[in-house]
Structures are given as structure tokens and as C-alpha cells.
Amino acid sequence: MSHQQNIYLDNNATTRVDERVLNAIIPYFTDLYANSTSSHIAGLTINEAVENAAWQVADLINANAEEIIFTSGATEAINLAIKGLANQDKKHIITIQTEHKAVLETCLFMENIGFDVSYLPVDRNGILDFHFLNQTITDKTLIFIGMFSNNETGVIQNMLEISKLLKSKNVLFMCDATQAVGKIPIDVKTLGIDLLTLSAHKFYGPKGIGALYVSAKAKIKLIPQILGGGQQRKLRSGTLNVPGIIGLGKASEIAVNELEKDLDRIFLLRNKLESGLLQFKGSFVNGSIPNRIYNTTNICFPGVNSEQLIMALGNISVSNGSSCSSVTSEPSHVLKAMELSDEEALSSIRFSLGRFTTDEEIDITVERVLSLAQQLVLPRRH
């Protein structure tokens, strides 16, 4: 492979659309373009396809189709889930300092309308203190919001143990599973999750489509955030993005069938990449090594400015933080919460692999990163 060919290792930001997904979508831009809520035969045909996609998404997380609400993506789903609870009697929310900004900013909104929000710390490995969570819960606690797999470090929290605690305290459990759905097995019933958010473009589907799972068992009455024609049981009005929904459904179907194959192959590639990059003197992995998703590694290269290294890599796409805030040079709030210094956080790079990553790309990346990092390392102050 030529060094001029693009190597994409930023799959936590977005993924390439799988060709099988694209082929499933295209007819819904051309021949099958009717509105899914129209009562004529063409509309009813589209509605049937939408319902099938809902079942495909539900099957991926062991839910029921009627528990799935289609949104424009995970950010909208997060806003609907959290803001939709504004009329509840309990006014205390618990979340984690390392959550995605979509959760943190929405929680700030809830504070502004009268809710109390507790932002729990994590340890150096990015793991939530289970006992501290227990101590923070009160009789006024409505919901705990926790990310399944962190978008920057890949760290996975112990969702089952968290869920058991929350159920014993009669507290709702919301999971931002945007980085986990389609990559690892998720069973909302076994995990006792009441609300779950996901986005198609994180697992080889199109951008602009996501979903919110709302447990029927929990009997949660959300306040809709988008009003209009009353689509989707009046929870999210607006003409449905049918091509996107079909794409999300197809991506879900493929994930169900190929998840284990992807996991095994990408895990080995990630470990090869990581072991190669850790040859850089003083480098280390950010976050818990055993408790993380298989496609992600976040590595600190001491003395190297991550932005300079990313620019120098050119055709190799990597990230120094969340894709939603990577245009800033501020140190990552996730890494800061994990007790890294500003210097360490600004020397850290996230590598996230995917279905289309090759062994040859890993070899090239290791060689290029090590060479460029050595050139860019700043002399240490004495």
C-alpha cells in the first residue's frame, strides 16, 4: 500500500457505510420514495419496510419493535430521553464526568430548569466508583445516565452491577450506547436498561439516523421534543427519514450476523497496533486495559503535541479527542477527569479501528507514528 493512500483509524467518529447497507438504501431514494404515513398502497409498502427495520434494530439489543423511536441520531435521542423527563416528580439526576458532551450539556439544561445533577468522578483507569454511586443515590434520584463504552478511551463500565444497584433503589437507568451498539452484544432486558441511545453511523450505517429505546416495562412517559404531525406514537413528530431507517435496520441485521467475526479480527489488529506504538519511550495507554471495547486504544506520547502529530500523519486519520469537539485545542475533559495533566492530555491520540481496517494499514501506521513522534518530541525541561 502506498503511503499516499488513506488509512482511516477514526471509526469512533464515524464509519464507512457498508456496501450492503448502501445497496439496501438506494431504492428508497428512487422507486420506493412514498411517505411512510400515507394510506395508499405505496405508503403502506414503505410503512411495512419501516416496521421491519424497527424489528431489526430491536433484535440487535433484544428489545421489541414498539420500544424503538427513530431519531436523527444519538444526540437527538439523548435530548429526548433526558429532557423528556422534565415533568417527573423526582428531580435528581446522576451521571459521570466522562460522559459525551451531548449528555453533559443536556444535564446542564436540566439544572437550569430546576433539577439537581451529580457528576460522579472516575479513577485513573476511567472506572466509576460503584460505592460512590451508591452513596450519591437519594430518595429524590430519578435516573442514572452512564455511557456503555467511552468514545475517547473505549472504557466499559460494569453495566450489570450498576443496573442491579439502581433497580434496588428504584432509579431509572439510561445508557448512552452509541459506541457499543453493533460492536459488542447488548441485551437491554438482561442489563435492566430503561433508556438506550444509538446512532447508525457508528456501525457502518448512514449519518442522520439513530434511535432511542424506551422500555415498555418501565412505563416512562416522555415529553416529546419535536411536535407536529404526531408520528411515532406522538413522541417524535416529522416525516420519517425512510432511507436512513432502512440503512439503520440493515446495519443492525449485519451486526447481529457478523458481530463475533468483527470482534475477533479487529481485537487482534488493535492489539498489534497498540503493542507497536508502545515502543515509543514513555508512552502509555489511557484507561483500563482489561475493561474496554476491542476496537479502541488511546495512547499518550509524552512530549509530543497531538495536534502536530495528527497534521503530520496527513493521510492517516486519527483523533485527539471527541469528534464533536476536536476542532478545539483544549485538553480532553475525559482525560482530565481521569487525572491526566494538561500536558499528558494534549499528548494523547485515539486510534479506533473498524470493519475495513487491514493488517497492512496497521504496519504502516505503526511505522509512521513512531517515526514522526520521535521527530516531534519536545526536549524535556530540567
Q: Which of 107, 175, 300, 324 is the catalytic position? A: 324
In DSSP notation, 272-338 reads: HHHHHHTTSTT-EE-S-SSSB-TTEEEEE-TT--HHHHHHHHTTEE-BSS-TTTTTS-SPPHHHHHT
φ/ψ of 332, rounded to 5, equals: -60, 130
Distance CA 274, CA 298 (A): 9
Distance CA 246, CA 25 (A): 6
- Nearest to residue 204, comparing CAs of 177, 235, 231, 181? 181
C-alpha cell read off for 368: 509512521
Distance CA 14, CA 3 (A): 22
Under a CB-based contact definition with an 8 Å cutoff, are residues 245 and 239 in contact?
Answer: no
Is residue 324 annotated as part of the catalytic site, yes or no? yes
φ/ψ of 380, rounded to 5, equals: -75, 140
Distance CA 325, CA 21 (A): 28
* Residue type for position 7: I
Under a CB-based contact definition with an 8 Å cutoff, are residues 50 and 245 in contact?
Answer: yes
Measured in residues, the chain has a length of 382
Spatial strand order of the sheet with 210-214 comes to 68-71, 210-214, 195-199, 172-176, 141-147, 92-96, 116-120
- Nearest to residue 197, comparing CAs of 44, 33, 310, 84? 84
**C-alpha dihedral sign at 85, 89, 90, 92:** positive
Which residues have a catalytic role annotated?
324
